[in-house]
Amino acid sequence: MRTASKPLRYRQGVRPGAAVVQTSGAGGLYQLYPSENSILYHIRTDEVVVMGVNPRLNWYEAPSSAHREEARRLLEQIGLGNEADRDFLTLSEGQKQLALLCRALMQNAP
C-alpha cells in the first residue's frame, strides 16, 4: 500500500485534503478517501469498514461473515479493535479517518 506523497490537483477530480491509497500494483487501482466523511447516520464502526466490499458484491448479495472478520482484523491492525462496536459518529476525527482507511483497504482484501 502506498499513499500519494504530494497533493493532487483539484482539476484531476480530487478534492483538496483527500488522501489516495494505492491498493494494487504500480499503475493499478487507487482508492480515494476524503478528509471529510459523508456518514451522517448511526452505524457501527465495523459496518463502515465492511462497506468496502460493496463494489465486489452483486446487487443481491450481503457481506459474508468472512468479510466481517476481515473488517475486524483490519481494525485490530490499525489500533481500533476496541472501537469496532462503537457508533462511528462518536469516534474522534482521527479515528474516523483510520476507519475509512480500513474501508478503503477492504476493497482489495482477499
Locate 51 and state its grid cell. Answer: 462497506
Higher pLDDT among residues 55 and 24, named by residue: 55
pLDDT tens by residue, 49-103: 999 999 889 999 999 999 999 999 999 999 999 999 999 999 999 999 999 999 9
- In the predicted model, is pLDDT for residue 14 greater than 50? no
CA proximity to 96, closest of 66, 68, 75: 75
Task: Report the distance separating Cα 41 and Cα 72, nearest Å.
Answer: 20
Q: Report residue 35's pLDDT band, with 50, 70 and 90 as the boundaries.
A: low
CB 102 within 8 A of CB 52: yes
- The pLDDT score that the predictor gives to residue 38 is 78
Locate 19 and state its grid cell. Answer: 488522501
pTM of the full predicted structure?
Answer: 0.68
Task: Report the distance separating Cα 110 and Cα 66, nearest Å.
Answer: 10
- The pLDDT score that the predictor gives to residue 33 is 56
